[in-house]
Amino acid sequence: MTASVELPLWLLIIIVLFALVMVLDRILLPSVRWLLRRKVNKIIGEVNDKLSIQIRSFQLTRKQTLVDRLVFDEQVFAAIKSYAKENDMPMEVAQEKAFEYAREIVPRFNAYMYFKFGRWLAKTVSRLIYRMKVGFYDGGALAKVDPKSSVVFVMNHRSNMDYVVVSFLVMNRTALSYAVGEWARVWPLAPLIRSMGAFFVRRNSNNPLYRKVLERYVHYSSRAGVSQAVYPEGGLTKDGVLKEPKLGFLDYILRDYNPEKDRDIVFIPVGLNYDRVIEDRSLERSLSPDLPRQSKWFVFKTSCKFILKTLFMARKERWRRFGYAGVNFARPVSAKAYFAQLEKPLSDLDKEERIAQVKQFADDLMQDIAQVVPVLPVALIASVLVEQQFKAMNRAEVLSLCAKKIQQLKQLGAPVKITQNGYEGILTKTLALLAGRKLLNQHNDLYQVTENSQGLLNYYANSLAHWNSN
């Protein structure tokens, strides 16, 4: 005689689901993870054979391992104790905050996403909108950079397109790690950006514990040889003028640098400019504090409209609307060579002396960047219009003044690639671009600056303002 056991339906469902989970966890998921890991390792091997600066082991380390390493770092642990004491809280609570900050900062680099999806996305977006103009003013030194060194690209910050454009241009040489502001901490953008190796930064945070965790992450990544991209200005220029460099990030990189023990850190100045910055009107609006801030819904709606309009615009029309994007690379600067004249390494200097040295270094880097910011047609015409106080001019007058401006800039050593033979056609198309954006009104052969457009024209002219003081 056999006994039967009756089970409620809900309990049977739970048992079946539990069994399925165990099958997935013990049999299927390990196989899938193995296959994915094998595919990723294959991609890493293929990519490393082609890159000038290979992917570092630090970038491939599991995120939780890096988080633990940060939180239990000696300096971070001291900051945790100090933070707990100052805020009258248990050590465990302060340590959990450090874990929170570390998890927020540390990226989750995915080589497949970076070199497959990221390469396609950067290439597509860059070429979708702009005609690219790339120049090298490094005397061939860029190709001679030691692949074992830590490479840091330092750039002026004109647009959020900077991330895309520079990543696309250097993707065949190295994998870049960016510091990204809090604006990108939204789903699904945040996980995508993390997988590309970028890390999030609270730019205006004065929390000493957070700053220490961030400092030590930058220290570890730079000492491990991870290639990074840095904006010394700290944020987008709102008026178009190059801003004074902020020292925080550069100080984090150099604070404990000892040229006798550490690998060389090579800084590569990069100058960027655009015929049309996609955020220009938003940046102009931000200069007027009396204007109300746009709602997130308005920003989202406007962004979607812009993307759809751009996608369905013919290529010729896109280029006529957006023009050129220019990127120039300057001569690399070796930290080991630059600080060789110091009697003591930076790591042995007191805070005031170290900050003074980093400040001088940052100023020199910004000067190198300024020297290679591309002179593009829109900036050139905007400069002429500003100098002529926005008076109405015919096409011949504009071209004549632009020709004189080109000669002046060349004499100063500015990176002008507008040739004498081709400048007339290029500038005529640029006048049409400005008229198409309604920054200029065209009546027959006469061009007049439209009402409320002077601010934007000043913005573009200011990208060349540093040459006016020479």
| pLDDT tens-place string over residues 230-254 | 999 988 899 999 999 999 889 999 9
Confidence of residue 374 (pLDDT cuts 50, 70, 90): very high
The residue among 220 and 189 whose pLDDT is bigger is: 220
Confidence (pTM): 0.85
> b/e for 222-241, b at 16 or more Cβ within 10 A?
bbebbbbbbbbbbebbbebe
Q: What is the DSSP string of 388-435?
A: TTT--EEHHHHHHHHHHHHHHHHHHT--B---TTTHHHHHHHHHHHHH
The residue among 49 and 129 whose pLDDT is bigger is: 129
Q: Which of 2-16, 75-89, 326-340 has the lowest mean pLDDT?
A: 2-16
| pLDDT tens-place string over residues 413-468 | 999 988 777 788 899 999 999 998 999 999 888 999 998 899 999 999 999 999 98
Confidence of residue 32 (pLDDT cuts 50, 70, 90): low
Sequence letter at residue 346: L
CA dist 314 and 320 (Å) reads 10
The residue among 369 and 31 whose pLDDT is bigger is: 369
Tell me: cis bond preceding 147? Omega within 30 of 0 counts.
no
| pLDDT tens-place string over residues 176-214 | 888 877 666 666 666 777 777 788 888 778 899 999 999
| pLDDT tens-place string over residues 387-419 | 999 999 999 999 999 999 999 999 999 999 887
In the chain the domains, ranked by start, together with CATH numbers, are: 103-276+323-372 (3.40.1130.10), 377-467 (1.10.10.10)
Q: Check pLDDT > 70 for residue 319.
A: no
Mean per-residue pLDDT, 330-354:
88
pLDDT of residue 311: 63
Element housing 179 (H / E): strand 177-180
The residue among 121 and 4 whose pLDDT is bigger is: 121
pLDDT of residue 178: 83
Q: What is the DSSP string of 173-191?
A: T---EEEE-GGG-STTHHH
The mean predicted confidence, pLDDT, of the chain is: 84
Q: Which of 34-48, 127-141, 212-226 has the lowest mean pLDDT?
A: 34-48
Q: Which of 142-156, 167-181, 268-282 has the lowest mean pLDDT?
A: 167-181
Both structure tokens of 256: 């404990």
Sequence letter at residue 305: K
Residue 273 phi/psi, 5-degree rounding, is -155, 155
Confidence of residue 50 (pLDDT cuts 50, 70, 90): low
Mean per-residue pLDDT, 328-357:
89
Beta-bridge mates of residue 180 = 200
| Burial class of residue 246, CB neighbours in 10 A (0-12, 13-18, 19+) | middle
Q: Check pLDDT > 70 for residue 318.
A: no
Residue 239 phi/psi, 5-degree rounding, is -110, 0
Confidence of residue 147 (pLDDT cuts 50, 70, 90): confident
Element housing 180 (H / E): strand 177-180
Confidence of residue 129 (pLDDT cuts 50, 70, 90): confident
pLDDT of residue 124: 84
Q: Measuring CA to CA, how many Å separate 122 from each of 156, 181, 303, 434?
A: 19, 19, 18, 26
- Residue 267 in 3-state DSSP? strand
Mean per-residue pLDDT, 288-306:
67
Q: What is the CA radius of gyration of the chain?
A: 26
